Structure 1
């Protein structure tokens, strides 16, 4: 291993070593549940095949290139629970960049229209990950740009980021 690779590995280890002290215990437990749900084969690592199975259960499967990109966000290109926490800890310090949010919504937009069916989005919120209650969905829907039964996620991301779009 070269000196540069050793230094990079040491920095990654330092960055993940204190992630456990940054997050509240309840959030840590929720993150463990999310990790376990994604780790379909229960080997302690999230890889492309785990992501494919998870997305398949949602009715869509992104390309291998997109999935590889997700896994490569992890330090050392291995997405174990510590790396998973580290990535989400960084993301929790603020919302994701606009492009990341738009891409996340786009994963559920099979026709690439910029819109997601209102019923489909409600179903996702109620049944995936940290499930939203009916009350929480009502709160989100007060602000969501919905027209003709479709959520305009492009405008929704702009609203989330505080950049209102003209209708």
Structure 2
């Protein structure tokens, strides 16, 4: 495809997404953020992608953004970025996901989980949390007799806000962490 054909195809793809998945206002907001942080028109790496997504209020995990970056190529452009945002929008609501998980660990329907069970889950499942991170979570929960009611966990999850900072690691790579 020639340069003009590529540009035309890209615009058609954007309009397709606009009609199918996003409002015109959302597309414009995403485009402004993407062009602000990607002046060359492409996200440069998974960390860069994660930063842009978090600026828009998304909370992708490190493995997810690495997977997206591998799936869409080393130079991730705006149409690909829209596809990723659409995939993120298709995810299950975290509160619904956690509620479903509670059903699996509470077959007797008691409505609570023990503190040791929470510690075990947070330190071994998914993105494993450090002792300090687990301690901070426990400090925010209503613990009654060594048990945490599920509604306390749901309240914590549904009221979660990210506060990310920008740093450079030992290998001179950029990333964002809480």
Q: TM-score, length-normalised on structure 1?
A: 0.43
- Structure number with greater Rg is 2
Q: TM-score, length-normalised on structure 2?
A: 0.41
